[in-house]
Amino acid sequence: MKVSYKVPATTANLGPGFDSIGMALPIYNVITIEETVLPSTGIEINVMQDVENSELIELDNIPEDKNNIVYKAVEMLYNLVGQNPSELKINIRSNIPIAKGLGSSASVIVGGLMAANELLGSPADEDALLSIATEAEGHPDNAVPAILGGLVMSSMEDDGSVIYRKLKWPDEWFINVCIPDFELTTNISRSVLPEMVPIRDANFNARRFAMLVHAIDTKDSELMKVALDDRLHQPYREKLIPGFREIKDALKHKNDVLGTVISGAGPALIVISEKNNVEQIRNLIKETWNNLNINSEIKTMQVELEGAKKIN
């Protein structure tokens, strides 16, 4: 038996929503898990690259053994039902740029879990899958929208359960995904964050996150321009992303731009624009990065409303 799942990319944080909000994007990985026929075949993992984003995807350092994050997530599910994943072939077709802050790891974790769950006869319900995916990923902001699609606020509770609520993203707000040609691993991006922050910064982010949710819910463009500010992670991470400050400051003066944020751990950026004035945005970003000898790919899209989907 063979099962394949197509899983979207995600962008997390949206400025002040650190580790608590994320949205699905229409870029996809496909994960296929097959039960092998011959005994003692063991675990086989193959990672393949789609042509579309080939210049943005580096596969050399992805483990093809039991250290692979897909296998680890699948193993967690099998262990939950008292089994071991002994005879499996896992194929990962990668189209989401890796180490760019676009949820590539969450995508393959979710795809592996969904496919393995089906192979096992679907013993895990949505709540269990959300919990396992979040535990494997480390936080829910990417994993939850990868499963559910759309824009999702989420929290992992002390007992391992996940609470979430969906928000409707305004159709008239465009998402410009700006992907530079260098990588930034989550571990490095998190290493620059302080273990403690001043109470005034925590308070600032609480206010901004409340504004963010209200701005999205009411389609308030003027409030959105204020709501995307952050003091918990972006001031520390921006030093790892050449050109971010220049791009953000330059786009502040464009009437149709609501804001620029780091996508997840970076280095990809998300520019939210009110009208489809994307050429001006693209030209400014490309010029800024070109001056720093950084090539980039910029894609304009809407939120992917559908999460992980079985395709065979």
- Domains in the chain (CATH in brackets) are 2-168+303-310 (3.30.230.10), 174-301 (3.30.70.890)
- Distance CA(22)–CA(265), nearest Å, equals 12
Most confidently modeled of 63-67, 287-291, 308-312? 287-291
Q: What letters, b where the CB count within 10 A reaches 16 and e where it falls short, cover 240-266?
A: bbbbbeebbebbeeeebbbbbbbbbbb
Cα 195 to Cα 198, 223, 233, 266, 284: the distances in Å are 10, 30, 11, 19, 35
Q: How far apart are the first and last CA of the chain?
A: 11
- Which tens digits make up the pLDDT trace of 17-66? 999 999 999 999 999 998 876 665 567 888 877 655 555 555 555 656 67
Q: What is the reported pLDDT for 46? A: 83
Query: pLDDT tens across 237-252, in order?
Result: 999 999 999 999 999 8
- Per-residue pLDDT tens over the stretch 184-221: 888 999 999 999 999 999 999 999 999 999 999 999 99
Mean pLDDT (the chain, rounded): 91
Q: Which two tokens stand for residue 63?
A: 């483990």
Q: How far, rounded to the nearest angstrom, does the alpha carbon of residue 147 sit from its chain's CA centroid?
A: 11
- Count the helices and strands in the chain (H runs, E runs): 10, 11
- The alpha carbons of the chain give a radius of gyration, in whole angstroms, of 19
State mean pLDDT over 110-121: 94
What's the CA gap between 288 and 171, in Å, rounded? 28
For residue range 149-193, list pLDDT tens digits in order. 999 999 999 999 999 999 999 999 999 999 999 988 889 999 999
pTM: 0.92
The pLDDT assigned to 221 comes to 96
Give me the helices (H) in the chain, please.
Answer: 69-80, 104-119, 126-137, 140-148, 186-191, 199-218, 221-227, 234-237, 244-251, 278-290
Is the separation of the CB atoms in 271 and 178 below 8 Å?
A: yes
Predicted local confidence at residue 88, as pLDDT: 85
Quick one: average pLDDT of 265-278? Answer: 90
Chain centroid, CA 136 distance in Å: 14
* % pLDDT > 70, the chain: 93
Q: Is 101 left (phi over 0), alpha (psi -120 to 50) or beta?
A: left
Q: What average pLDDT score do residues 99-109 get?
A: 95
